[in-house]
């Protein structure tokens, strides 16, 4: 019921602000859609839209599709078309909706990390790689090795990665992707872990900036930090927290490089997957104890701008993946961090001058 109300509220607010749903030339929106234990972020610009990740918990996929339908009912000027979809990595909580997206909307460009390892949780990416041409869609695969080869470490961009233009021209640059060469010192598990092969994506709109890192974990972060250390390549005002706020999804070194003013986590509600008897359901916010108290504390201590009002949010203290019979959570006073687990869908308005407003729709 709450999620349905969120969609309707969002549409009514937007209709009240814009004639025929179009945006002023100097304003954009980032929609962090509440899809449970997953991630899907719609970047809305005056002349187009790009979806970064198309994931959801299995029972939330319809929420994503319905949200996009409501969006295109407002933005009739976009003709039911996503200029691009960028998938950070191949897990289903980041790409489960690819098939439904192609059946409901026009997709002009598709970007992923090129991986084709076949497991039960990675089939959607391979399906899209095999079928993109059937939808009149262009495709590009991004690797860390490609990004490292760019002179002066300026990142990768082209008309497939960055397909939206306008008087305020958004810029989309990718700084990392899948590792083709096995990084020195990595174990086989680190090299094959899809999390470490997540793309790092920066979106700028005038002076506004957003950084996305999918589920990048410590090993992958170190490679990216070593490549771009001493530069402002990763610097962004708004940061997506990696791996749904897990302990391994953020580090002090990453925060120092990004220098975020704001940060958000996309994950399920704390009790999604909770079981009254026996072990909790796998691959859920409850089982992973997302977001974890250690990550939340680090972010709360590091971010520079506070929310309007502090509140108590549930954070994990112990997960059930290390032999524990259940996960544990506690309340933590939140002053700065945003999270779909507490806030529902988060809609960030940003101006070309770098001003931000956060609206939550729980």
Helices within the chain (DSSP H only): 2-17, 61-74, 98-104, 123-131, 144-148, 188-192, 218-228, 252-258, 285-288, 293-302, 340-343
pLDDT for 120 equals 66
- At a CB cut-off of 8 Å and minimum separation 6, what does 260 contact? 211, 236, 237, 238, 239, 302, 303
Instruction: Report the pLDDT value the prediction gives residue 141, as an integer from 0 to 100.
Output: 98
What long-range pairs does 209-212 form, CB within 8 A, spacing at least 24?
209/235, 209/236, 209/237, 209/238, 209/354, 210/30, 210/43, 210/236, 210/237, 210/238, 210/239, 210/240, 210/350, 211/236, 211/238, 211/239, 211/240, 211/258, 211/260, 212/41, 212/52, 212/53, 212/88, 212/240
Crossing angle for the helix pair 61-74 and 2-17, to the nearest 10 degrees? 20
Tens digits of per-residue pLDDT, 306-355? 999 999 999 999 988 765 678 899 999 999 999 999 999 999 999 999 99
Q: Which residues fall within 8 angstroms of residue 13, CB to CB, at 6 or more apart?
A: 359
pLDDT of residue 323: 58
DSSP code per residue over 237-275: SEEEPGGGG-TTS--HHHHHHH--SEEEE----TTTT--
Q: What are phi and psi of 216, to 5 degrees?
A: -55, 130
DSSP 98: H
Neighbour count for residue 242 (Cβ, 10 Å):
27
285-324: b (≥16 Cβ within 10 Å) or e: bbbbbbbbbbbbebbbebbeeebeeeeebbbbeebbeeee
Provide the residue ranges of all domains of the chain, joining segments of one domain with +. Answer: 2-361
* CATH code of domain 2-361: 3.60.15.10
**Structure confidence at residue 10 (pLDDT):** 42
pLDDT at 292: 97
Dist CA 85 CA 139 (whole Å): 10
Q: What is the pLDDT of residues 217-269, one digit of tens each?
A: 999 999 999 999 889 999 999 999 999 999 999 999 999 999 999 999 999 99
User: Is the CA virtual torsion 306, 237, 22, 61 positive or negative?
Assistant: negative
> Which two structure tokens, joined as six digits, stand for 307?
């929310």
Cβ-based burial of 235 (10 A; exposed 0-12, middle 13-18, buried ≥19) = middle
What pLDDT does 278 receive?
67
* Overall pTM surpassing 0.85 (yes/no): yes
Residue stretches of the chain with pLDDT short of 70: 1-20, 118-121, 276-278, 322-324
């Amino acid at each position: 019921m709450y999620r349905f109300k969120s969609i309707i509220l969002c549409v009514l607010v937007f209709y009240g602000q814009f004639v025929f749903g179009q945006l002023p030339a100097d304003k954009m929106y980032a929609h962090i859609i509440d899809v449970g234990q997953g991630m899907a972020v719609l970047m809305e610009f005056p002349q187009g839209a790009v979806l970064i990740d198309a994931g959801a918990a299995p029972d939330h996929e319809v929420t994503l599709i319905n949200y996009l339908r409501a969006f295109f009912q407002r933005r009739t000027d976009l003709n039911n078309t996503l200029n691009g979809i960028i998938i950070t990595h191949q897990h289903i909580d980041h790409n489960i909706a690819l098939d439904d997206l192609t059946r409901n909307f026009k997709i002009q460009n598709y970007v992923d990390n090129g991986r084709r390892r076949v497991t039960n949780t990675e089939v959607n990416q391979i399906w899209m790689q095999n079928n993109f041409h059937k939808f009149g869609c262009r495709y590009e695969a991004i690797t860390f090795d490609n990004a490292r080869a760019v002179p002066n470490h300026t990142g990768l961009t082209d008309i497939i990665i960055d397909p939206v233009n306008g008087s305020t021209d958004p810029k989309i640059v990718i700084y990392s992707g899948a590792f083709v060469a096995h990084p020195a010192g990595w174990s086989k598990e680190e090299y094959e872990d899809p999390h470490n092969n997540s793309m790092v994506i920066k979106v700028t709109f005038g002076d506004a900036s957003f950084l996305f890192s999918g589920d990048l974990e410590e090993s992958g972060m170190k490679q990216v930090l070593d490549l771009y250390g001493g530069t402002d390549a990763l610097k962004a005002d708004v940061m997506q927290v990696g791996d749904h706020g897990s302990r391994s999804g953020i580090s002090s070194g990453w925060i120092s490089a990004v220098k975020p003013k704001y940060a958000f986590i996309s994950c399920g509600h704390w009790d999604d997957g909770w079981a009254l008897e026996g072990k909790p359901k796998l691959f859920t916010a409850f089982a992973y104890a997302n977001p974890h108290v250690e990550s939340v504390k680090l972010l709360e201590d590091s971010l520079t701008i506070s929310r309007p009002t502090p509140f108590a949010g549930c954070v994990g203290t112990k997960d059930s993946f290390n032999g524990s019979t259940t996960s544990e959570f506690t309340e933590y006073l939140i002053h700065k961090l945003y999270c779909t687990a507490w806030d529902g869908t988060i809609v960030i308005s940003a101006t070309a001058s770098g001003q931000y407003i956060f609206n939550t729709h729980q």
